């Protein structure tokens, strides 16, 4: 029986369901008050999550994308695609940077990790700057200011389309005015800033509504799980007595 | 006068209701519709219909990159989206390339394979019609690399089979070789990064679904920078409705998102009632304080 078959076997499914069900109840118990069961489940979740990410990151990225590139002859049994390949010495650079990053664990040599960190921050800042500028600034301005009239729509469609565009441009400008503090918010400027507050409130309201929907979705998922757990347990107990 | 005092006391009590009572009522508002299988019909909105039409109008054999960028914690919202797109793609004869920017993504892909692809589409072959390429670290850095050289990062699938040995990987050199990038995400990295680092610079159609928490941040990208978006469970239910309208055979099959919209409606009504009640008691108490 391979690993996947074991994980998908009925016994593993039952054990997994019991663990999941009990941990769910432990987390739900916080709704009544803080307690050791909740703390245990919370700490277990944090520990398992950290370990999971580390293990998956090692086997799915470090092994095939670094170790197998440097020592392909030794990795043939783990990474079949490495068989017959020659070592690529360019991968020594990420290996060195990776080791430098681990120097953070050493109190005496932790300053060495700054070089690797500088590389990561420089790369992230450089790529993010250009992409955010293009996608979230230039293109968003372009998307916000559209021709007021779109040909080919019905009369009602045209009215709706124009109304929608006016709302977008008006809302955008008034929200921007609200955040402009170099001029006192008085007169027409003040009224526009006040409208900006309403626009922001509408946006916060929509975000809150969506957040509620998200949380209820997750609660529904857990409730559904608990119903299935109780159902399967009830069938199991019923099977014992019949 | 005495009646008024009694009424005010009740209002005060309502205003100070224990939060655990509220949790209990919300819990019941979710549990009861689940037990009685209460559902509501959700028609597809334009933002969902556009994405559906995009997948529908792609020619058979098109290459769809499905990025599963979420964890089991948001699976109730995200997994129905994955189910719908897998069904839709295979109905149209598209090929699905599953990857993940999250370490937890491959497990969700495995669930999709075990629960949907293998039982519902037994004729679809691994390596020819679908492939699970797994997780790679790097987030937007990974997307940047994939845009230039897909095979530099993805040398094998999750089973360790070299991508050169997979027939469906023929012709895949960069992200530009895909006809659609379909990201199902729940945070960062996710939909936003796919738009910023792949869709915009590579001019590749990007669409997908996200959790309801993330949806308001992503709507501004529609329609110029994203083909369409499934916002939370409702978006997933809308896609299921569009799929059902086009392919009626799914009427008798599990439609998880649609089935869970009943509890959504009842819970929202209860929450709205509590908000209204809270505001009414707040106003009444404030008036009382002013008078006294």
Are A8 and B136 an interchain contact pair (Cβ–Cβ within 8 Å)?
no
pTM attached to this predicted model: 0.88
Residues of chain A contacting B160 with CB distance shorter than 8 Å: 78-81
Instruction: Quote the CA–CA distance of B239 and B231 in Å, as a whole number.
Output: 10
Are A60 and B106 an interchain contact pair (Cβ–Cβ within 8 Å)?
yes
- CA-atom Rg of chain B in angstroms: 23
CATH of the domain at B126: 3.40.50
Q: Are strands B229-231 and B130-135 parallel, antiparallel or unpaired?
A: unpaired
Q: Give residue-wise pLDDT tens across range A29-58.
A: 999 999 999 999 999 999 999 999 899 889
Q: Which helix (H) or strand (E) holds B208?
A: strand B206-210
* pLDDT score of B7 more than 60: no
The verdict on B28 and B171 lying in the same domain is: no
The verdict on B33 and B51 lying in the same domain is: no
The verdict on B80 and B33 lying in the same domain is: no
The verdict on B272 and B204 lying in the same domain is: no
* Residue A131 distance to chain B (closest CA, Å): 6
Residue B290 three-state SS: helix
The verdict on B55 and B22 lying in the same domain is: no
The verdict on B130 and B231 lying in the same domain is: yes
- From the list B31, B160, B212, the residue facing A211 with the nearest CB is B212
Q: Give residue-wise pLDDT tens across range A133-178.
A: 999 999 999 888 888 888 888 888 899 989 999 999 999 999 999 9
The verdict on B113 and B13 lying in the same domain is: no
- From the list B23, B114, B232, the residue facing A210 with the nearest CB is B232
Contacts with A113 (C-beta within 8 Å, 6 or more apart), sequence order: A100, A101, A102, A103, A104
pLDDT for B255: 80
The verdict on B270 and B250 lying in the same domain is: no
- From the list B136, B224, B264, the residue facing A213 with the nearest CB is B264
Residues of chain A contacting B164 with CB distance shorter than 8 Å: 81
The verdict on B75 and B139 lying in the same domain is: yes
User: What sign does the dihedral B128-B133-B139-B144 (CA atoms) show?
Assistant: negative
Q: Give residue-wise pLDDT tens across range B192-210.
A: 999 999 999 999 999 999 9
The verdict on B136 and B220 lying in the same domain is: yes
The verdict on B95 and B226 lying in the same domain is: yes
Print the domain residue range for B88: 46-257
Q: Which helix (H) or strand (E) holds B130?
A: strand B130-135
The verdict on B272 and B252 lying in the same domain is: no
Q: Give residue-wise pLDDT tens across range B55-69.
A: 999 999 999 999 999
pLDDT for A232: 84
Q: What is the 3-state secondary structure (H, E, C) of chain A?
A: CCHHHHHCCHHHHHHHHHHHHHHHHHHHHHHCCCCHHHHHHHHHHHHHHHHHHHHHHHHHHHHHHHHHHHCHHHCCCCCHHHCCCCCCHHHHHHHHHHHHHHHHHCCCCHHHHHHHHHHHHHHHHHHHHHHHHHHHHHHHHHHHCCCCCCCCCCHHHHHHHHHHHHHHHHHHHHHHHHCCCCCCCCHHHHHHHHHHHHHHHHHHHHHHHHHHHHHHHHHHHHHHHHHHHHHHHHHHHHHHHC
Are A211 and B213 an interchain contact pair (Cβ–Cβ within 8 Å)?
yes
- Total tally of structural domains belonging to chain B: 2
């Amino acid at each position: 029986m391979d690993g996947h078959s074991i994980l998908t076997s009925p016994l593993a499914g039952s054990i997994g369901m019991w663990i999941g069900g009990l941990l769910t109840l432990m987390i739900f118990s916080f709704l009544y008050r803080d307690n050791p069961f909740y703390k245990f489940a919370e700490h277990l979740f944090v520990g398992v999550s950290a370990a999971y990410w580390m293990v998956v990151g090692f086997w799915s990225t470090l092994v095939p994308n670094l170790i197998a590139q440097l020592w392909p002859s030794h990795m043939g049994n783990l990474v079949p695609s490495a068989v017959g390949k020659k070592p690529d010495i360019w991968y020594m650079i990420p290996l060195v940077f990776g080791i430098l990053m681990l120097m953070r664990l050493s109190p005496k040599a932790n300053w060495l990790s700054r070089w690797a960190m500088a590389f990561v921050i420089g790369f992230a800042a450089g790529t993010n700057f250009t992409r955010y500028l293009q996608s979230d600034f230039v293109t968003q301005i372009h998307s916000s200011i559209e021709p007021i009239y779109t040909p080919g729509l019905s009369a009602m469609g045209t009215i709706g389309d124009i109304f929608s565009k006016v709302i977008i441009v008006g809302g955008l400008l008034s929200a921007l005015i609200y955040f402009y503090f170099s001029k006192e918010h008085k007169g027409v400027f003040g009224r526009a800033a006040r409208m900006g507050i309403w626009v922001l409130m509408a946006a916060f309201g929509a975000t809150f509504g969506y957040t509620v929907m998200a949380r209820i979705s997750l609660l529904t998922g857990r409730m559904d799980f608990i119903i299935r757990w109780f159902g399967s347990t009830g069938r199991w107990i019923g099977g014992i007595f019949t | 006068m005495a009646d008024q005092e009694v009424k005010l006391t009740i209002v005060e009590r309502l205003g100070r209701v224990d939060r655990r009572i509220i949790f209990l009522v919300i819990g019941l508002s979710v549990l009861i519709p689940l037990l009685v299988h209460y559902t509501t019909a959700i028609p597809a909105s334009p933002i969902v219909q556009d994405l559906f039409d995009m997948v529908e109008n792609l020619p058979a054999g098109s290459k769809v990159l499905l990025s599963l960028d979420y964890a089991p914690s948001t699976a109730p919202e995200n997994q129905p989206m994955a189910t719908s797109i897998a069904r839709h793609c295979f109905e149209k004869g598209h090929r699905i390339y599953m990857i993940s920017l999250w370490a937890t993504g491959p497990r969700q892909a495995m669930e999709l394979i075990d629960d949907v692809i293998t039982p519902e589409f037994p004729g679809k072959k691994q390596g020819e019609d679908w492939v699970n390429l797994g997780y790679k670290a790097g987030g937007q850095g990974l997307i940047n690399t994939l845009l230039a050289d897909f095979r530099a990062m993805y040398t094998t699938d999750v089973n360790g089979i070299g991508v050169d040995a997979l027939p469906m990987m023929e012709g895949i050199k960069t992200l530009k070789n895909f006809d659609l990038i379909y990201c199902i995400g729940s945070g960062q990295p996710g939909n936003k990064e796919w738009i910023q680092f792949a869709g915009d610079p590579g001019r590749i159609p990007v669409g997908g679904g996200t959790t309801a928490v993330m949806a308001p941040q992503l709507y501004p990208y529609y329609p110029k920078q994203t083909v369409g978006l499934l916002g939370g469970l409702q978006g997933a239910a809308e896609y299921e409705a569009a799929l059902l309208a086009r392919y009626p055979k799914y009427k008798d099959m599990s439609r998880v998102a649609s089935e869970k919209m009943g509890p959504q409606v009842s819970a929202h009504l209860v929450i709205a009632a509590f908000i209204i009640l809270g505001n009414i008691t707040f106003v009444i108490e404030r008036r009382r304080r002013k008078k006294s």
